[in-house]
Structure 1
Amino acid sequence: MPLQLGFTGDVMLGRVVDDRQRRRSVDAVWGSVLERLRGLDGLVINLECCLSTRGQQWQRTYRPFHFRADPDWAIPALERAGVDVCTLANNHILDYEEVALRDTLTELDGAGIARAGAGETIDEALGPAVRTIGPSNGDSDDSIANNALEVAVIALTDNTPEYAADEDTPGTAWIEIDASDAETRRRVREALERARETNPDLLVASLHWGPNMVTEPPKSFQEFGHWLIEEGVDVVHGHSAHVFQAIEVHEGRPIIYDAGDFVDDYRVDPELRNDRSFLFVLSVTPDGDPLEFRLHPTEVEDCAVGEASPEAAEWARKRMRNLSSSFGTEFDRDGDALVLSLEN
């Protein structure tokens, strides 16, 4: 029986989202998408903030925005949505310096939410997030356990090099997005090898890459995505641009060049519509063979994510078809969702 693994773009729970959530129900941030999230077998998000009430805003280099959320509500909200993995390799995890990063690691670990992409050292940041997803839930029945999926996620970023971890300093798993760069290849292969040591059925590379408000990936990102697949990655999960980009299938494996934004408080660009995206749901066999991607249109309103309105959903479907067509990607339609078959 196929399992359903969800992927989202940026989940930014700070600033106005944090303020609203202090005065409404803990799961209000997930709006009308909550039941769809809870119906998944697993869920991977990019957490675009730190979870802490401590620390001072980063002042060592200029930073225009600083994002953090109170873990007293944010952790229960992540639990309510069924979040299994948070990727932390991004340009906001150190917005309130090392103390807030450490709080984030502690809070996620305490909740049993796996994490990747940031840590006390570069060694920790390169380590994979590993989860068993599916209906087993610790059940000892062999027929149920055999339907579980072992997932390993590595997380990397080319954003904000001043947040990079090293052998002695907390921070992110930072790389240059250049498949020909020897240091990049060494670091990525180290992360992939450590992930493979966990014997996963599905290997995911989650990348916070590139600038904001760009609708198409550069050629170097395409080359890098292809290289990752050729190195054994099953799914490339891109994010950072705040707007969704194309999906490409390379050697039978999907590359989401950018998943856009899922939750935030950002000003909306009337043309690029950074408030519109998708919940990306991968149908995969327990052996780790991707079957299809199903894209459910979403829309941010009042600092919460919800099912997109008919007009917004139609706009998002059309934009995704147009962006992906140059990569040879064609979608079917099922209700409000776009469907991409991955079966050979």
Structure 2
Amino acid sequence: MIPSRALAVFLAVVAVTACSAAKPEAGKEGASASPTAPVVEEPKAERKPFTISFGGDVHFEGGLRNRLNDPRTALGPIARVLSAADLAMVNLETAITTGGTPAPGKQFTFRAPATAFTALKAAGVDVVSMANNHGMDYMETGLQDTLAAIKRSKFPVVGIGKDAAEAYKPFRKTVNGNKVAIIGATQVLDAEFIQSWTAGPGKAGLASAKNEERLLQAVRNARKTSDTVIVHLHWGTEMQKCPNQAQLSLAPKLVKAGADVVVGGHAHILLGAGYLENSYISYGLGNFVFYNHSAGTTGRTGVLTLTIDGRKVLKDKWTPAEIQGGIPIPLRGQAAQQATMGWKSLRSCSGLAARP
């Protein structure tokens, strides 16, 4: 028989031991100063449609250079249209340099200072493509100046880079819950510059659509991790109002690879736009900020605004404008109605549909 005092001591020791086992020592694995809080998953952001606006070809050559004296107003009243969209994009058809040597044998060479980026940003432009037949007009020195200016400005640019990986790399941004990827490339290069201007492994230059498989692979890669894939191309034949065979061949390949939108320009005039299966194609956005000596067909321009939800292009809207003094001035009233009807009529020779 255990004496009562000894029994009391024994029971006290057991109680202390049990308490120590129930409360692990602080700092040890599994220790907790308080009961574990329940894990609450944050709801995923709801995806909603977004808008993206596209303008055509832009440079700041000739008399347009003076507009960069005040970059905040360089694009004029069209900036209101671009700024109203969730995203806006144009083709920047110029080298960004004040030096370099003009490409030998070229009739027209374009260059502009880095304030071109400032002007575009001030006008509401979010990203530009520099993959075009003027992106390296001032050759290797101009290219290095361009790449340095892009790096300093931190302005989003596609279609050009220090090597092929960078040139074909998409611009990425999540807009209203949509993961958007935009790739830039050029189908137009002067024959004598195709090799020297095309980016390659360890070689700076432009993303070329002439290397179709490289471009299609970039689209397929973007498709894997994006809700919306957009390809911006420099393509077409100057002053030809219907798409050429190279465009008609490439567009369906891009759609099959996963492109939801394919837009571009080069022809200096507007071309048709519409649906190819469920994807949206614009074969020609025309000139935009461009010196024009007349208000004829090369002065007809505008902004294409698409409303997109994931892979679905829900709506297209054309805001017609006319180039005056080198910049696009939006049209109003009856003039706008007639210009919009004219733009829609261009679809007739494009093989595209008004609806998906």
User: Normalising by structure 2, what TM-score?
Assistant: 0.78
Of 327, 343, 346, which residue of structure 2 is paired with 1:323? 346
Of 88, 101, 107, which residue of structure 2 is paired with 1:64? 107
1:16 paired to 2:63? yes
Partner of 2:207: 173
Aligned amino acid, residue 66 of structure 1? T
Partner of 1:260: 286
Aligned amino acid, residue 159 of structure 1? V
Of 214, 226, 251, which residue of structure 1 is paired with 2:240? 214
Q: 1:96 to 1:47 in 2, by over 3 A?
A: same
- Alpha-carbon distance between aligned partners in 2 of 1:165 and 1:35, rounded to the nearest angstrom: 35
Of 314, 317, 333, which residue of structure 2 is paired with 1:291? 314
- Pairing 1:80-99 to 2, within 5 Å after superposition: 80-99=122-141
Q: 1:104 to 1:315 in 2, by over 3 A?
A: farther
Q: 1:104 to 1:301 in 2, by over 3 A?
A: same
- Alpha-carbon distance between aligned partners in 2 of 1:94 and 1:18, rounded to the nearest angstrom: 18
Structure in which a larger fraction of residues adopt helix: 2
Superposed CA offset, 1:258-299 (max 9, x none)? 1111111133373xx1111220111112x3422111110022
- Pairing 1:56-205 to 2, within 5 Å after superposition: 56-59=101-104, 62-71=105-114, 73-133=115-175, 147-160=176-189, 161=191, 162=193, 163-176=197-210, 184=212, 186-196=213-223, 199-205=225-231
Partner of 1:275: 299
- Alpha-carbon distance between aligned partners in 2 of 1:107 and 1:329, rounded to the nearest angstrom: 41
Superposed CA offset, 1:109-135 (max 9, x none)? 4333322211122232222222233xx
- Alpha-carbon distance between aligned partners in 2 of 1:65 and 1:260, rounded to the nearest angstrom: 17
CA contact (8 A) 2:94 2:134 kept: yes
Superposed CA offset, 1:162-188 (max 9, x none)? 122233432212233xxxxxx52x212
- Alpha-carbon distance between aligned partners in 2 of 1:175 and 1:328, rounded to the nearest angstrom: 21
- Could you list the structure 1 runs, at least 4 aligned residues long, displaced by more than 4 angstroms after superposition: 309-312
Aligned amino acid, residue 84 of structure 2? G
Q: How many residues align?
A: 303
Indicate the SS of the match to 1:228: helix
Partner of 1:338: none
Superposed CA offset, 1:194-249 (max 9, x none)? 4235x122101111013211110024422321221122100001211111100131
Partner of 2:85: 40
- Alpha-carbon distance between aligned partners in 2 of 1:107 and 1:43, rounded to the nearest angstrom: 20
Unaligned runs of 5+ in 1: 134-146, 177-182, 331-340
Q: 1:103 to 1:309 in 2, by over 3 A?
A: farther
- Alpha-carbon distance between aligned partners in 2 of 1:7 and 1:224, rounded to the nearest angstrom: 20
CA contact (8 A) 1:263 1:303 kept: yes
Identity level (%): 28
- Alpha-carbon distance between aligned partners in 1 of 2:261 and 2:294, rounded to the nearest angstrom: 29
Q: 1:319 to 1:211 in 2, by over 3 A?
A: same
**Mean Cα displacement is larger for which, 121-130 or 304-313?**
304-313
CA contact (8 A) 1:128 1:152 kept: yes
CA contact (8 A) 1:114 1:130 kept: no
CA deviation after TM superposition for structure 1 residue 28, in Å = 2.7
**Mean Cα displacement is larger for which, 164-173 or 309-318?**
309-318
Partner of 1:4: 51
Instruction: Find the structure with the greater CA-based Rg.
Output: 2
Q: 1:293 to 1:192 in 2, by over 3 A?
A: same
Aligned amino acid, residue 211 of structure 1? T
CA contact (8 A) 1:299 1:312 kept: no
CA contact (8 A) 2:87 2:125 kept: yes
